[in-house]
């Protein structure tokens, strides 16, 4: 039994395109909603604003050492890649992965690991909160 759309030239192709577009819209909407939800949760966890993070990453040169998803040019190889940081058990292998620990690490890494290659940057606690919010939102 053939589909009624198949008997009309071009209608089957149009129906296929509509199904693909509708599916893509659903996936995109779900992705955006999930990304928004993750950002909201990250804000609550850290007290930071992930929207301010890209400029902070650039200002302090974080991209020179780290690969950071969503940050153009952040493809450094000296430090650990910062993708999916929220799924890690430890920060820099020395601190339990909790928002307060991440903020403290960003502000003063030598306090926790004197031999770390991560420099003391002079970053403020609020800026570190913004970076932590961004990293947890990814």
Element (H, E) at 33: helix 11-46
Q: What's the pLDDT at 13?
A: 52
Q: What's the pLDDT at 28?
A: 40
pLDDT at 68 over 80: yes
pLDDT band at 34 (very low <50, low <70, confident <90, very high): confident
* pTM for the full predicted model: 0.75
Give mean pLDDT, residues 35-46: 91
What percent of the chain has pLDDT above 90?
63
Dist CA 51 CA 30 (whole Å)? 20
| Other Cβ atoms within 10 Å of 51 Cβ, number | 13
Give mean pLDDT, residues 66-95: 92
pLDDT at 20 over 50: no
42 contacts 134 by C-beta, under 8 angstroms: yes
Q: What's the pLDDT at 18?
A: 41
Q: What's the pLDDT at 73?
A: 86
Dist CA 106 CA 86 (whole Å)? 15
Give mean pLDDT, residues 117-132: 96
């Amino acid at each position: 039994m053939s589909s009624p759309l198949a008997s009309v030239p071009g209608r089957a192709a149009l129906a296929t395109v509509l199904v693909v577009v509708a599916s893509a819209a659903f996936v995109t909407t779900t992705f955006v909603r999930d990304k928004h939800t993750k950002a909201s949760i990250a804000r609550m966890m850290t007290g930071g604003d992930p929207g301010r993070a890209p400029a902070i990453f650039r200002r302090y040169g974080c991209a020179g050492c780290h690969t950071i998803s969503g940050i153009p040019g952040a493809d450094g190889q000296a430090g650990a890649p910062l993708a999916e940081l929220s799924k890690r058990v430890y920060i820099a292998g020395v601190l339990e992965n909790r928002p307060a620990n991440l903020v403290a690490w960003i502000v003063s890494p030598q306090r926790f690991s004197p031999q770390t290659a991560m420099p003391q940057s002079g970053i403020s606690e609020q800026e570190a909160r913004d970076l932590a919010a961004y990293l947890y939102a990814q």
